[in-house]
Amino acid sequence: MNELHYPGDPDNLYEQTIAEVLATADFLNLPEHLRLILAQPKNEVMVHFPVQMDDGRWQLMKGYRVQHNNVAGPYKGGIRYHAGVKLDEVKTLAVLMTLKCALMRLPYGGAKGALKVDPRAHSSEELMRITRRFISALGNNIGPDYDIPAPDVGTNAQIMAWMADTYINMSEMHNRVEAKSVVTGKPLSFGGSPGREKATGQGLVFVLETLLPNLGIELTECRYSLIGYGNVGSWTARLLQDRGSKLQAVMDHSGAIRNPEGMSARKLAEYVAEHGGVVGYPGGEACSEEAFYQEEVDLFIPAALEQMIGPEQAKLLNCKLVAEAANAPTTPAGERVLTEKGIEVLPAILCNCGGVTVSYFEWKQNRQSETWEETEVDHKLQAMISEAAHRVHAFAESHHCSMRRAAFAVALQHLQDIYALRGIFP
Ligand code: NAD
């Protein structure tokens, strides 16, 4: 780690992620230069810019765009708005995007962006000014052929529309049609793709449909609990409800609730849209965090933030399978406890790749000035995801390794193939 310029802190998220990348590279016997290239991002852009608030005060904002690797194509990855965001978190998410796109065989590299801001603390007008200033500060560090942002925690289709509009207005006249594809996850009426809003949850459901039969769990009878009821969590729950699965416990930033008889995912989504969190929902009873983790279920889905499942939480879990909808929700120490307990973990780069895959469909539609039907989007997504899930499962079976190791290996092999063909410029 030292020669790769690491802080040497085992609790550091970036170090945890790169340690797994390097261990997988060893497992595959990949060349040293690939290890060196992937150990640090290519570019780390940091911007500071002032924005005027509604009351006339000026506030200084800090934003990041980390571009990890672009050997497979333009950089691609979401932009997060969160008050507690840190550079190492953004670097980690950028690495995971490189791996996710490689695993899915998308023509993209990996990036991630973030703005240190609490979106709930600002009016819509302020959020628009903040977003426009951020995109103007990033300037040519993004572009439809270079680096293509998307939504993530704390950002949504409206914010993507402001980003695209700002970028279009900063572009040369003859590039303005293409400029729209600078971001994905836009609203439907402004170049968005049918099926993009639900895509990450939809992708997870397709992964589960492909792999659960191997683990002896049927979605029609599956009992599950969930952390996070934002875009990914609530869409996963609504789509699992259509398959007959039962949501027994859910926790978000407001607290935890449970109901062993099951809760209506759709009614809960309406409640959260109105009240801001799951606590107080009449279809469930409030419970402690400990009781939430101890709920006896088949499937546990973390769909909130990173590093939420450490050893303490892993010891409490009472499930057969963890499907990581959030990025990097399980720490290495947490995963060791889960493995000792015989709980299988499906890794995030497979489970949540539906979002970037439909983003790719949106980018393609924009470039061809087309709009596909939602059924076409779902059909293409299902085909690509089940192929990726089979690829990972086959590697894990043939190499007797975990699904996380297999997913990282399938991605790294693809990057190695491209580097072997392209070489290193200049
Ligand atoms: P979101 O902002 O819509 O929702 C985040 C959820 O996390 C909210 O329900 C919030 O209450 C909950 N949360 C925040 N802090 C919490 C805490 N301390 N304890 C419990 N819950 C907490 O975000 P999202 O878009 O749903 O993203 C969730 C995860 O999925 C993130 O890891 C993100 O990187 C990942 N992801 C998102 C997409 C996408 O398309 N949106 C794609 C791939 C991966």
Please give the mean pLDDT across all residues of the chain.
96
229 lines ligand 1 (CB under 6 A): yes
User: Is there a contact between 271 and 278 (Cβ–Cβ < 8 Å)?
Assistant: yes
Among 158, 200, 268, say which to mutate for ligand 1: greatest number of ligand atoms within 8 Å of CB: 200
pLDDT at 19 over 60: yes
pLDDT in tens, 155-189: 999 999 999 999 999 999 888 888 999 999 999 99
Nearest CA to ligand 1 atom 36: 326
Residue 203: which residues within 8 A CB-CB, separation 6 or more? Answer: 351, 352, 353, 354, 355, 357, 358, 381, 385
Q: How far is the CA of 225 from the centre of ligand 1 (A)?
A: 15
At 303 the pLDDT is: 98
The answer on pLDDT for 393 being more than 80 is yes
- pLDDT confidence band for 311 (50 / 70 / 90): very high
- Give the pair of three-digit tokens for residue 60: 């200084």
Question: What is the Å distance from ligand 1's center to 303 Cα?
Answer: 6
* Segments of the chain assigned to CATH 3.40.50.10860: 41-190
Q: Residue 177's pLDDT is what? A: 85
pLDDT number for residue 176: 85
Task: Please tell me the distance between residue 109's alpha carbon and the centre of ligand 1 in angstroms.
Answer: 22
Classify 41-190 by CATH class: alpha beta
Instruction: Determine if ligand 1 sits within 6 Å of the CB of residue 355.
Output: yes
The verdict on the CB of residue 89 being under 6 Å from ligand 1 is: no
In Å, how far from its chain's centre is CA 156? 13
Q: What is the mean pLDDT of residues 243-257?
A: 97
Mean pLDDT confidence for 38-42: 96
Res. 4 pLDDT band, cuts 50 70 90:
low
Q: Which of 252, 268, 353, 357 to mutate to test the pocket of ligand 1 (most atoms within 8 A of CB)?
A: 252
- Tell me the CA distances in angstroms from 338 to 121, 315, 344, 345, one per residue in order: 37, 7, 7, 8
Residue closest by Cα to atom 3 of ligand 1? 230
Q: Binning pLDDT at 50, 70 and 90, where does residue 312 land?
A: very high
Residues serving a catalytic function are 112
List, for residues 196-232, the tens digit of each pLDDT value.
999 999 999 999 999 999 889 999 999 999 999 999 9
Verify whether ligand 1 is closer than 6 Å to residue 17 (CB atom).
Answer: no
Residue 314 CB less than 6 A away from ligand 1:
no
Q: Rounded to the nearest whole angstrom, what is the distance from the C-alpha of residue 230 to the centroid of ligand 1?
A: 6
CATH architecture of 199-346: 3-Layer(aba) Sandwich (3.40)
Q: Measure the CA–CA gap between 183 and 167, rounded to whole angstroms.
A: 9
Q: How many CB atoms lie within 10 A of CB 179?
A: 19
Q: What integer pLDDT is reported at residue 8 of this predicted model?
A: 73
- pLDDT tens digits, residue range 335-349? 999 999 999 999 999
User: What pLDDT is recorded for position 5?
Assistant: 62
Indicate where the chain has its CATH 3.40.50.720 domain(s): 199-346
Read off the tokens for 298.
């088949």
Determine which residue's CA is closest to atom 19 belonging to ligand 1.
253
The answer to whether the CB of 90 is under 6 A from ligand 1 is: no
Read off the pLDDT of each residue in 69-98 and give the average, rounded to a whole number: 97
Q: What's the distance, CA 254 to chain centroid? A: 21
Confidence band, pLDDT 50/70/90 cuts, at residue 294: very high
SS3 276: coil
Task: Report the C-alpha dihedral over residues 242, 244, 250, 252, rounded to 10 degrees.
Answer: -20
| Minimum CA distance residue for ligand 1 atom 40 | 355
Query: pLDDT value at position 3?
Result: 55
Judge if the beta carbon of residue 104 lies within 6 A of ligand 1.
no
Single-letter amino acid code for the residue at 166: T
Query: 371 CA distance to ligand 1 centroid (A)?
Result: 28
- Answer whether 155 contacts ligand 1 (Cβ < 6 A): no
Please, is 282 exposed, middle or buried when counting C-beta atoms within 10 Å of its C-beta (0-12, 13-18, 19+)?
exposed
Residue 69 has pLDDT above 90, yes or no: yes
pLDDT digit string, tens, across residues 51-61: 999 999 999 99
Check whether 37 has a pLDDT greater than 70: yes
Averaged pLDDT, 122-130? 98
What is the pLDDT confidence band of residue 386, given thresholds at 50, 70 and 90? very high
Q: Does 88 score more than 80 pLDDT?
A: yes
353 lines ligand 1 (CB under 6 A): no
Q: Ligand 1 centre from 28 Cα, in Å?
A: 32
**Measuring from atom 43 of ligand 1, which residue has the nearest CA?**
352
